[in-house]
Structure 1
Amino acid sequence: MVKVSVTNLAGQTRDIDAEEGLSLMENIRNNDFDDLAAICGGCCSCCTCHVYVDGGDFGKLPAMEDDEHYLLEDSEHFKEGASRLSCQIEVDGSMDGLQVTIAPEA
């Protein structure tokens, strides 16, 4: 398991054991974070699984595809160098210690 630190909208942080091979979105939802709506279920067609990745951890992630970037750019909560869609991040061992914060919805 990969340790991931998740901060909810209330500012409470909890470490989870994320399962490799699942998306970060699936892991966050599987650990009962109700703040992450993930309405499209991982199809990269909404921004309701938007998270902010800690600056030091952003480089651990694979590069963003164009469709993810376009969706995030349209979000009023977009932060360059921090915003990612958690449905587009497949968890692997290199992400151990990753720190993310659930972004507010529009």
Structure 2
Amino acid sequence: MRVTIAPMDVYVIERFLVGWTAAEMDDLVDRCVRASAEFARRGVQHLTSIVMPGDETCLSVFTGPDTTAVLEANAELGLRVDRIQLGAVRDERAAS
């Protein structure tokens, strides 16, 4: 049996990390995770970040009321944003 979770709108932030070391990339993701309480106070939730060292890119996935709220929360916490796109997540999992 499979369980389908309703699609959820998300905001995907692209961060270009040209010239960054692996340690700097790891630190960026750690900062996103550590800032979860601060994001929540702004009505934003960090779901996950995906680092692609070969592309020198990080994709961070958020939920929030709108693009502006997600951008402002990242800016206020000093997290770089190069581009933001609206996306949707559809999750299908096997029921246990």
Query: Normalising by the residue count of structure 2, what TM-score does the alignment of the two structures yield?
Result: 0.28
TM-score in terms of structure 1 length: 0.26
Larger radius of gyration: 2
Structure with more of its chain in helix, by fraction: 2
Which structure has the highest strand share of the two? 2
